[in-house]
Amino acid sequence: MNCTLPSLNARIFILFTVLFTQPTLLYAGTDSSGAVLRINVGGHGYVDHEGNLWSSDAGYDGGIVATVDVPIDGTNDPILYQTMRWDPLQEPELSYRFLLPNGNYSVNLYMAETAAHAMGERSFDVYIESNLAHEAVDISAQSGGYGHALIKTALVTVTDGELNLDFVHLQGDPVINAIEVIPATGVATTPEQPLVLTVQETGSNHVRISWDSFHYAIAPDLTGYSVYRDDALIATTNMTSYSDTGLSADTSYNYSVTSQDNAGNIIATSNSLSITTGMYHETDLAPQITGTPPDVVTANTQYIFQPVAIDNDGDPLGYSITNKPCWASFDTSTGRLSGTPGDGDTGSYDDIVIAVTDGLNTVSLPAFSLHVLDDTSATDQATAGNLTVNWMPPKSRTDGTALTLDEIGGYRIYYGDATGHYPYMVDVSDETTDTYTITNIPVGTYYVAMTTYDIDGRESGISSAIAKILR
């Protein structure tokens, strides 16, 4: 349907299908001392807080691009963790290929759990140069939970002019947010390569540690690891992480790890890591709220803003608003601000604040102003339009089992300026609706896709994209 002025409404219809992108190869550098790769997976070029340039996504085979608006803890560059490529169960497995000069490299994989998967719901192996580099990666468990940055590092040697990364399903779907490859001069080529021990999570009565091992590439006989607390052996495992429970609160413990071969010989010993457990107290985590409200609306045009809020404790949430425009309504159960201003409502509405509470803690979005333009101004400017999305709710899950409406938690609309690149997302947390209008977006060409998520937060694959021109 063609767009019409002044409302510039566009309507599209979406059916849920899986979108795949084609593989490309990325060549980097001419020698190992000058070859550095930084890939903003699922996103465009980006300059991080240290001035390093990250290129747009390249080198991939398989997977689906997604963008989220989720706060990320533990990093100065949350943008790197808000775009991603995730891999559905269908073949092929997600992989990356980079043409690199032969040499030694440190490969850093950036990950964050942004789909609210609990520990054990997402687990996958990562192979680098056909060697198992990271086994049973559980982002939620290893990072400390939802919205926490995690970097997994492996030291590798390229001998065939090509770096290969493969992400293999175990439980749920593999996901990767960014890839960094840095030359590593002097990387050990003998089994004396050390284990690097890091802390992943602490509590009043538990500690979770993890380590990265350049194992199969230099120690093919490696069979497992021994974990020591205060120089006493407490566990053996073939995983690269361990949770130590039943500890005392506010107490310091020293940890170290050794790797051994199939004859029981020690291959490598990690650094010693001192960790202090937290004080014991009942805690209630504050909820999180995100969203960027549109700040302009035309008189006689519908305005809708839906923030996204989560509570890691699972507490029920309630919403409130201050300085609500008189022409708008506000839903205290969802935080949705909506309404249609009339000709007499033009002007600026300032210091609007939307907050969410779990009954104990209250957090809010930054205060914002909302400007209502008259129809004439909007027509003259012709710089913004509205995009209406219609869809059919899915009736079944990917395994063929029925999906009823009361099992649906809501929908997410992704849109951007290119197929597979969706920097903007709108969360529609009303399972009963089949239409939504994105208001006051700049005129131009947009590609729109959707997902469905259930009441447990599990999100579907992304739909095929529909293009629409607003002009």
Is 3 contained in some domain? no
pLDDT of residue 423: 66
Same domain, 42 and 159: yes
DSSP conformational letter for 381: H
- Closest C-alpha to 439, from 391, 380, 371: 371
Instruction: Judge contact between 96 and 63, C-beta under 8 A.
Output: no
Q: Which of 324, 350, 381 is the last residue of a domain?
A: 381
Ranges in the chain, pLDDT < 50: 1-35, 186-193, 214-220, 281-282, 377-382
Same domain, 215 and 350: no
The SS3 assignment for 82 reads helix
Other residues' Cβ atoms within 10 Å of the Cβ of residue 395: 10
Same domain, 36 and 142: yes
Same domain, 93 and 121: yes
Bridge-based pairing state of the strands 347-357 and 328-330: unpaired
Q: What are phi and psi of 307, to 5 degrees?
A: -70, 165
pLDDT of residue 183: 80
Same domain, 38 and 87: yes
Instruction: Judge contact between 415 and 469, C-beta under 8 A.
Output: no
State the distance between the two ends of the chain, measured CA to CA, in whole angstroms: 12
Is 21 contained in some domain? no
Radius of gyration over every alpha carbon of the chain, rounded to an integer in angstroms:
25
Is 22 contained in some domain? no
Q: Which of 123, 153, 187 is the last residue of a domain?
A: 187
pLDDT of residue 355: 93
Q: Give pTM, 2 decimals.
A: 0.41
Domain count, the chain: 4
Instruction: Judge contact between 25 and 59, C-beta under 8 A.
Output: yes
pLDDT of residue 23: 32
Same domain, 61 and 157: yes
Distance CA 269, CA 201 (A): 21
pLDDT of residue 216: 37
Same domain, 181 and 43: yes
Look up the domain containing 120 and give its range: 31-187
Is 222 contained in some domain? yes
Same domain, 36 and 178: yes
CATH code at position 153: 2.60.120.430
For 32-68, letters b (16+ CB in 10 Å) and e give beebebbbbbbbbebebeeeeebbbbbbbbbbbbbbb
pLDDT of residue 195: 66
pLDDT of residue 169: 92
Q: Which of 122, 155, 187 is the last residue of a domain?
A: 187
Same domain, 139 and 229: no
Same domain, 408 and 276: no
pLDDT of residue 399: 67
pLDDT of residue 328: 93
CATH code at position 316: 2.60.40.10
